[in-house]
Structure 1
């Protein structure tokens, strides 16, 4: 060991620091004593807040049941029954008792807030008096405004109590266990309020003897969605507790509400949307609602017990810390002071710079800030010098690795990805498509008579054809598509989020572009295409075989064509759309117009893809197609308005955009800015696949229900 301080090893320095700090260990009691007093007061305040919140939670339970049952009674035709009268009266007595208890405890915490609670409660009691008068009358004699006011004001009053609980919890916000428990209780309360309100809407409609109105249906769906969101939050938060009793209570809520009550609710809703349902259904629904909603408050009670246990443990710990804090007062003070001054400047800051340098190495960035540290003679200096040496070595290895990876995954001739890249990307692409139920299509193609090119012009010319083909295809496909040179003159394209019809359009576009490309020596070299859309969970080998079979059929058909393996199989050139039963909407006139548009599109495809086609004939067909599109769109919009389709305005906007695009293409063609093949993409991608097979499908359930299913075959 050297006898001067700067040459000591880091271990020696740390040992010396520990010995020195031990002389002042008694100083630690200062902070421990302070924390003990603070924690004890904090625990007492939390205990007071929790004791105040308990009766308010119980009051919310009683008020929630009163709100829901009163809403049902106000919607019923007959005056209130004796059973409902006793139910409401019992819940009201409970609410009064708990509110008075909570107000008394709240006054010790916040007198002003307690006074406000009393004022709000008096207003609510006035509303209860009006309610009591109205429910004695038949439905025809009741004031309809009372029911609306009852739902609004009772809900507001319940949420006011909920806000009181929340505001009390915020007084001792520590982001600790108590806050987690407290927020969990509030989430349970809101879950009960929204789930109870959705149940009340259904029960009230049943009691009223009328189908569920659109407005009530909207409120029902909104309340149920909010309840489901809160339940998901409750379920996620419960994992933090690791409490078997709480888990059992959660399972009981899930069983009684989601497995027993909610399916019954959904069944009655489907009937109630079409017609009134018997009042026995409402009685059955109400009978199951009480245990379902009681289980939610059982959950609140369970977490409240956990909260009390936590508060007791916190109080005990604070008392224990208070008793031992005085003996260690000076130790804590001096230890903390020395730790902050010495270890921060001599150890933590240098280590922080070194760690930052290592992180920069991981991120491929340059290191800076170690100039002073590398001059040190201890372990910090050694680490700093080693870090700089490591940067040089890692930089060189990273450069070599990138070069190796690029060579391993890239075809040297064409610059395209090779099979190795396919192997790396395939698993993630298949998993993504299965997880999100997205379509995934494969285009498999190879060059026609490529052996003849090599035999006639030699392999260098064949290589030029392959390179030009790769560049042509890359200019056509999307950035998300994966283009692979699969072997020889065979290429493979994986197209995420693309159905078979979209892959057909892309293949036809590539095929047309290749057919227009003349190579310097070999001339035009066409290609044959096989297409397969992957079924969910399908193995790659089976999927590839389907595309390969389609490619074989394309070769067998005569080459320079596209063949699909699926239900939209097309084995002729040019592309032809074929009507399938799934496209029927249920309305005979709409289906007839759709069939006519597809036939006209097919006729136009034949002209557009025929090099000898005359422009006058193409323009005539396009004009007729635009006219039929306008006629069909107008008729379809009138039918959608008639059946009450909610998205009719959005549908009308899409129609106008398609007509505008068709007109723009027509003008561009006449001016020579685009070729006839530009309409193929518009007709397939925009009109058929994008509109008829997607947007129109959204209203098919309504037209099929309205006009019957006799037209679906």
Structure 2
């Protein structure tokens, strides 16, 4: 399971006892507590969170602020429970992105039941965003995340890279071994390459036998290093029913024009295919559009 994250600034009176209580039910390794919204959002960047339990009133940033910021990232699917002892505010909490508003003082059994429901809801949300064959995110999720990353780049220039790749001679695999084996190759390749990519990167099935990896903050050198690692993983792996299968990779990086990033990665992939497949090719340097 993913993590249960508790956000409350009253560390001794509420946070620590609640972490201990829930740890006994869900496993201590699955329950984490932080004392601020900022720390919670930083944690969410590193971990997949199933359920967030957040206090409403906290110094600097409140539970509403957490909900809005957390929900702004389409990959943050966690079920949000707001805990509050104040009257009112339910509508504001739900509109900010919370799933349920839980009144203090609460019964621990009621809270546990709500968390169990939240874990199920989060799992269903994730399932709706995944490609059934490979388990990777769908292309529409890439579009949503890419829009956010492009907006960040325009506000604060930093590298944004993409690796586009596909299985070489995939039609031949289907024709030789059958579509069932072809599906297994796609699934196994996706899982193999996912293990070789960074946790912070977005890995999607772009269509057919084509995949796309979005790498926020990765320089051209870093993206090339990752692509070469993915390529090497394919070279060293023997697929149980199809034997040796290779893939071609196209790498592109932008610091100014994210709207052209995927096209440039696709062009680099096309160049890799034309050069004989089973290789990594980097896109031409980024150019400013004509004025």
Q: Which residue of 2 aligns with 1:565?
A: 283
Question: In the alignment, is residue 555 of structure 1 matched against residue 238 of structure 2?
Answer: no
Shift of 1:520: 0.7
Q: Which residue of 1 aligns with 2:153?
A: 433
For the residues of structure 2 that align with 1:502 and 1:399, how far apart are their CA atoms?
Answer: 35
Question: In the alignment, is residue 512 of structure 1 matched against residue 232 of structure 2?
Answer: yes
Q: Does the CA-based 8 Å contact 1:416-1:485 persist in structure 2?
A: yes
Structure 1: give runs of 5+ residues left out of the alignment: 1-350, 372-387, 569-713
Shift of 1:496: 1.5
For the residues of structure 1 that align with 2:262 and 2:274, how far apart are their CA atoms?
Answer: 18
Which of the two has higher C-alpha Rg? 1
Q: Does the CA-based 8 Å contact 1:443-1:492 persist in structure 2?
A: yes
Aligned residues: 195
For the residues of structure 1 that align with 2:106 and 2:267, how far apart are their CA atoms?
Answer: 63
SS of 1:551 mapped into structure 2? helix
The runs of at least 4 aligned residues of structure 1 exceeding 6 Å deviation read 356-361
Q: Does the CA-based 8 Å contact 1:531-1:550 persist in structure 2?
A: yes
Structure 2: give runs of 5+ residues left out of the alignment: 1-83, 287-291
Q: Which residue of 1 aligns with 2:130?
A: 410
Shift of 1:449: 0.8
* Distance change >3 Å, CA 360–CA 567, structure 1 → 2: closer
Shift of 1:487: 0.9
So what's the TM-score if we normalise by structure 2?
A: 0.59
For the residues of structure 2 that align with 1:370 and 1:550, how far apart are their CA atoms?
Answer: 57
* Distance change >3 Å, CA 400–CA 561, structure 1 → 2: same
Q: Which residue of 2 aligns with 1:493?
A: 213
* Cα-to-partner distance string for 1:453-473 (whole Å, 9 max, x where unaligned): 112112221121112111111
Structure 1 residue corresponding to 2:204, chosen from 468, 479, 484: 484
Q: Which has the higher contact order (CA 8 A, sep 6+)?
A: 2
Q: Which residue of 2 aligns with 1:544?
A: 262
For the residues of structure 2 that align with 1:360 and 1:548, how far apart are their CA atoms?
Answer: 42
Structure 2 residue corresponding to 1:454, chosen from 163, 174, 185: 174
Q: Does the CA-based 8 Å contact 2:161-2:261 persist in structure 1?
A: no
For the residues of structure 2 that align with 1:498 and 1:522, how far apart are their CA atoms?
Answer: 33
For the residues of structure 2 that align with 1:491 and 1:370, how far apart are their CA atoms?
Answer: 46
Shift of 1:538: 3.6
Shift of 1:434: 2.7
For the residues of structure 2 that align with 1:462 and 1:440, how far apart are their CA atoms?
Answer: 32
Q: Cα RMSD between the aligned structures?
A: 3.3
SS of 1:498 mapped into structure 2? coil
Counterparts of 1:556-705 in structure 2, within 5 Å, are 556-567=274-285
Q: Which residue of 1 aligns with 2:51?
A: none
Q: Does the CA-based 8 Å contact 1:353-1:369 persist in structure 2?
A: no
* Distance change >3 Å, CA 369–CA 565, structure 1 → 2: closer
* Distance change >3 Å, CA 537–CA 552, structure 1 → 2: closer
Q: Does the CA-based 8 Å contact 2:85-2:104 persist in structure 1?
A: no
Q: Which has the higher strand share?
A: 2
* Distance change >3 Å, CA 359–CA 468, structure 1 → 2: same
So what's the TM-score if we normalise by structure 1?
A: 0.25
Q: Which residue of 1 aligns with 2:184?
A: 464
Shift of 1:359: 8.8
For the residues of structure 1 that align with 2:153 and 2:89, how far apart are their CA atoms?
Answer: 39
* Cα-to-partner distance string for 1:267-320 (whole Å, 9 max, x where unaligned): xxxxxxxxxxxxxxxxxxxxxxxxxxxxxxxxxxxxxxxxxxxxxxxxxxxxxx
* Cα-to-partner distance string for 1:413-444 (whole Å, 9 max, x where unaligned): 11111112112211111122232211111100
Counterparts of 1:28-427 in structure 2, within 5 Å, are 354-355=87-88, 362=98, 364=100, 366-367=102-103, 369=105, 402=122, 405-427=125-147
* Distance change >3 Å, CA 530–CA 364, structure 1 → 2: same
